[in-house]
Chain A
Amino acid sequence: MANQLYQDRAQKIKDTINFENKSVTTCYMGQAAPAAHMGVKMKDFAMNPVINVKTTLDYIKEIDAITSVDCLNMSVNGMRSDHGLPMAWLSKIKMPGRELPDDSLWQVEETGVLNQEDYDIIIEQGYDVVFNRVLPQLLDLNELQESVDYQQQNGQKNAQLFVDANLPAVNSGFASPPFEVLCGGRSMSKFFMDCYKIPDKIEKAIEVMLPGSVQGMLGSVNTNIGNGSWVGGWRGASALVSPKIWNRLVWPGMKALAQALIDNDHIATFHLDQNWDRDIERFLEMPAQKSIINTDGMTDLRKARKILGEHTAIMGDVPAPLLATGTTQEVKDYVNCLIDDIGPKGLFIAPGCDAPANSKFENMVAMFEAANNWK
């Protein structure tokens, strides 16, 4: 049974999405940020789920002891990046202590495991045929099984640690739309060329993949931890693709995934990297007060608020460079200015995209302090 503070904070998440929050909601996101501050080698943090969960929890608790951290953007389960991310992007992940130096950050390596013929195979035989062929090229299946076993044995126990620390999460689920999966699998340059040369084929492949994406996403939401799911928008950003590609190949998939979440009483959190200004009004197509746009500092939130009004909550968007190199005063000024301009209702103050590995601890505190003290 969660205590009162946990329940109050969980309620605040709901209130914020409904634009009924009485103060700004502070929201933690920083998958790599804890390691350095807690004196843990990135290799151990990234490769060992036990160390990852403990270090992350201790780090957030340290901030929460200074100034309130109302919630987490994404629940923490310690899943290794090289086991989780290949499913989303069909790419290899280089890890610290393995392919990279011990204190390096993990990095995505697009190896282009898909070829043009794979679109036909997906259309004719289904996505699983291709997925099962390429997965062994991207990770060690035995290690993946160990990771899955760990989650089955420890997932609930780890989740309870965050409940006990009064840290509810907005999201526990994750969806990478088919556009993003294919983009990672083909590699960005080749995939974008395909989008110009053979859009019909890609559109059909996306249609075939979408039901499986919806099913996988709904299965990943754990309502005991966080009632929402990310719907990823990375390479499909408005700044990256032409309107023709976006309208036909990006948005339909994202919208279908988000609608499926909403139909099942979950929160749809559009996790948006890069700049989405051009298409921001399209988020009005989602039902009112059921979704969040989670941006990284590149989308114009003043414009977004003006267009979206109280239709869609905003989560963001303290830029990564500011958290890494700025002063505490600069961070506070950024947060205060943002809240002044777009108002506290329907607003989660969070790092843009993800607090980087070299975020200064004092800047993380300053970000949340400014939000909590805003009047």
Chain B
Amino acid sequence: MVKLGEMLANLEMDELMEAVQKELDQGTDPVEILKDCEAGMVAVGEKFSAGDYFVSDLMMSGEMFKEVGEMLEPHLAGKTGESLGKVVLGTVEGDIHDIGKDLVYIMLKSGGFDVIDVGVDAKPEAFVDALKESGAPVLALSCLLTTCYDSILNTVKAVEAAGLRDQVKIIIGGGPTDESVVTYTGADAVGDDAQSAVRICKEMM
């Protein structure tokens, strides 16, 4: 099989799509194709952490991964390999920003997680319902407004009130979040960017 992961890591969009189609035509196992592309996404993440890639590169790789996923979907028939675990993700109440959240979604997904996305401006009960329904051990909260720190706080409290706090780790992220906001809200960790969110979620599993 040609090195699909390398093409993805080098952001060679047209070459990758062509190569994936060729592999499918030749009867290559779609799960293997997916795994190779996941390895490419890991390489992208490493380049980002090393300061060689930037957010636009993450987005481009995410788009490529998504398109590969769409090509493979009819061939996968539910076979997607092993999941690292489930994460409930969303932007907190009062905040309608979605770009950071969506980027974390694609990086977690390509990193092997099952992600339950509850959307933007999500009320605490929406997060709690998703946690109960999925049994996810990690909750990821996105927040781009300092005025929504209390929404994080309220969500953490709602998780406590639902009796889930012992089973659920909570990570926060977004422009104005830092360790002081972790302390203020009672969350467990803060991710500086989409790639660190993946690393922290792995540690939390």
Q: What residues make up the interface of A, taking CB atoms closer than 8 Å to B?
A: 94, 100-101, 104-105, 107, 109-110, 188-189, 192-193, 195-197, 238-243, 245, 274, 319-322, 324-326, 356-358
| In the assembled complex, B81 has its CB within 8 A of some CB on chain A | no
Q: Mark contacts of B67-107 with chain A using CB atoms, 8 A cut-off: 1 yes-contact digit, 0 otherwise.
A: 00000000000000000000000000011110100100000
Question: In the complex the two chains form, is A107's CB within 8 Å of B145's CB?
Answer: yes
Q: Are A357 and B147 in contact (CB under 8 A)?
A: yes
Whether A321 touches B180, Cβ cut-off 8 Å, given contacts A105-B145, A105-B147, is: yes
| Interface assignment of B188: CB less than 8 Å from any CB of chain A | no
* Chain A residue nearest to B193 in the complex (CB): A239
B54 A322 Cβ-Cβ under 8 A: no
- Name the contact of A321 in the complex, choosing from B53, B63, B178 (C-beta under 8 A): B178
B residues less than 8 Å from A326 (CB atoms) = 180
A325, B149: Cβ atoms closer than 8 Å: yes
Residue contacts A-B, CB under 8 angstroms, 18 given: A94-B96, A100-B94, A107-B96, A107-B145, A110-B99, A188-B99, A197-B13, A238-B54, A241-B55, A242-B53, A243-B54, A320-B176, A321-B176, A321-B180, A321-B181, A324-B146, A325-B184, A356-B146
In Å, the complex CA distance between A238 and B180 comes to 25
Which residue from B56, B94, B176 sits with its C-beta under 8 Å from A104?
A: B94
Closest CB-CB distance, B140 to chain A, in whole Å?
19
Are B54 and A240 within 8 A (Cβ)?
A: yes
Point out the residues of chain A lying under 8 angstroms from B94, CB to CB: 100-101, 104
Interface of A is mostly: mixed
Residue positions of B touching A, CB distance < 8 A: 11, 13, 53-57, 59-60, 63, 94-97, 99, 102, 145-147, 149, 175-178, 180-181, 184
Shortest CB distance B146–A (Å):
4
Residue of A with least CB distance to B98: A110
Residues from chain A with a CB closer than 8 A to the CB of B149 are 324-325, 358
Determine the chain A residues whose CB is within 8 A of the CB of B13 once the complex forms: 196-197
- Residues of B within 8 Å of A195, CB to CB, are 56
Check A240/B55 contact, CB under 8 A, given A196-B60, A324-B146: yes
Residues of chain B within 8 A (CB-CB) of A192 are 55-56, 59-60
Do B56 and A245 touch (CB < 8 A)? Answer: yes
Q: Check if A104 sits within 8 Å of B147, measured CB to CB.
A: yes
Q: How many angstroms from the CA of A358 to the CA of B178 in the assembled complex?
A: 16
**Contact present for B56 and A242 (CB under 8 Å):** yes
**Are B181 and A241 in touch, CB under 8 angstroms?**
no
Distance, CA A358 to CA B56, complexed state (A): 31
Contacting pair B54 A109 (CB below 8 A): no
How far, in whole Å, are A357 and B57 apart by their CA atoms in the complex?
32
For A355, the closest partner residue in chain B by CB is B146
Task: Given A238-B54, A240-B56, check contact A325 B147 (CB 8 Å).
Answer: no
Q: Which residues of A contact B54 (CB under 8 A)?
A: 238-243
Q: Could you tell me the distance between the alpha carbons of A105 and B150 in the complex, rounded to whole angstroms?
A: 14
Measured between beta carbons, the chain B residues less than 8 angstroms from A189 are 59, 63, 99, 102
A104 to B150, CA, bound (A): 12
A217–chain B nearest beta-carbon distance, Å? 25
4 shortest interchain CB distances as A-B pairs? A356-B146, A324-B146, A240-B55, A192-B56
Q: Chain B residues with Cβ under 8 A from A240's Cβ? A: 54-56
Known: A193-B60, A320-B146. A109 touches B176 (CB 8 A): no
The CA-CA distance from A109 to B59 in the complex, in Å, is: 19
- The smallest beta-carbon distance between A134 and chain B, in angstroms, is 20
A195's nearest neighbour on chain B, judged by CB, is B56
Closest residue of chain A to B181 (Cβ to Cβ) is: A321
What residue of chain B has the Cβ atom nearest to residue A42's Cβ?
Answer: B147
Residues of A near B146 (CB, < 8 A) are 320-321, 324-325, 356-358
